[in-house]
């Protein structure tokens, strides 16, 4: 099964950065560009989580917490999904390997 999965990921004549997931909806990185984009997203989100405590001044229950920590996370996530959509296969629900592979 693992060899079939690798063959599916490597069968990429259109040079998509992200291939369709085998189970469910979404993408997995298929090229070094896709892996780099994913690693950069994870690093930036982790950095946001680490500096969040120092970046939130004053009352932790105030509405400014969303602007300081929540909004950058949402923007990064939307940007990541946009890149995956533009540089990946068209997403659709998939349950297992395609029959033609």
Residue 80: the pLDDT is 95
pTM for the model stands at 0.76
pLDDT digits (tens, 9 = 90+) for 50-87: 876 665 555 556 566 666 678 889 999 999 999 999 99
Burial letters for 85-99: b for 16+ Cβ neighbours within 10 Å, e otherwise?
eebbbebeeeeeeee
| Per-residue model confidence as pLDDT tens digits over 13-44 | 888 889 888 888 888 898 899 999 999 999 99
Dihedral sign for Cα atoms in the order 70, 72, 73, 78: positive
């Amino acid at each position: 099964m693992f060899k079939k999965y690798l063959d599916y990921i490597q069968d990429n004549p259109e040079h998509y950065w992200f291939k369709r997931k085998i189970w469910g909806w979404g993408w997995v990185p298929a090229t070094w560009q896709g892996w780099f984009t994913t690693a950069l997203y994870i690093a930036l989100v982790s950095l946001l989580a680490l500096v969040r405590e120092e970046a939130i001044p004053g009352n932790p229950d105030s509405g400014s917490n969303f602007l300081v920590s929540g909004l950058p996370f949402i923007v990064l996530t939307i940007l990541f999904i946009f890149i995956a959509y533009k540089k990946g296969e068209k997403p659709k629900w998939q349950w297992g390997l395609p029959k033609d592979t």
